[in-house]
Amino acid sequence: MIEQSAIIKALGVQPDFNAAHEIEKRIAFLKTYLVDSRQTAYVLGISGGVDSLTAGHLAQRAVRELRHEGRTATFIAVRLPYGVQADEDDATAAVTAIGPDRVMRVDIKPAADSLMAAVLAGGIDPLLRHHFILGNVKARQRMVAQYAIAGAASGLVIGTDHAAEALMGFYTKFGDGAADVLPLAGLNKRRIRAVAAALGAPDHLVWKVPTADLESDAPLRPDEDVYGVTYDQIDDFLEGRSIALAAVQRILLAYNASAHKRALPVPAG
């Protein structure tokens, strides 16, 4: 079975961490990639969680620096609710804290519901997996919307995937797992929170209980309830520390089962 050290290396988690250094490095990455791609905008969905909050702060600072250098650059924050979002106040607070150049809102409920209705009409009945499958549809519809906006704005889509979610495979394949750039890659959850705090993000958003909020029958269900382990255990694992054997086994099970999510499509032959 793959060892802890090999996973840490594969996910790009560094042994040392300094929030100020990470901010500088990741802003520089966003600036360079936008210029080299000959695009003029970054697009990011803002959920109200610390991940999109942090990525949004980095993106806004990157485009501001590019404009100061005489280049054309814009950051577009996109609100993507499924009807009425349970934590809408947090999403609004995140947008306010980031101060994006432009804010757009796309309600994905009509598109997601229409697609699910078409699937059901075709004779496929997910039964007890209905809300889980609909949750993945929501994530993919959000990415469809972001790419439509990016295409119209000569932009690139920012993803919020990071080492903790990558370790657990906790994202939707071709949904929130699809993006052009991942400015949080290699960071675990506690390091993302440290970066967010250093960027001046509000404390109540930095320390908000993480939730994907995809399943309609379990709104705002904490990520940790799904994992069966805590973020502290996941973060300790990624930093090379020892954790309880049961937690290690749960993490390794999730990592191995989600290997297909971290791989490119498999060619025949």
Instruction: Write out the catalytic residue numbers.
Output: 51, 165
Provide CB contacts within 8 A for 171, sequence distance 6+.
139, 161, 165, 177, 261
Pair 67, 134: CB distance under 8 Å: no
Q: Which two tokens stand for residue 183?
A: 């400015």
Q: Is 233 exposed, middle or buried (0-12, 13-18, 19+ CB in 10 A)?
A: buried
Q: How far out from the chain centre does Cα 58 lie? A: 14
Q: Which two tokens stand for residue 194?
A: 């440290």
- How many other C-beta atoms can be found within 10 angstroms of the C-beta atom of residue 111? 18
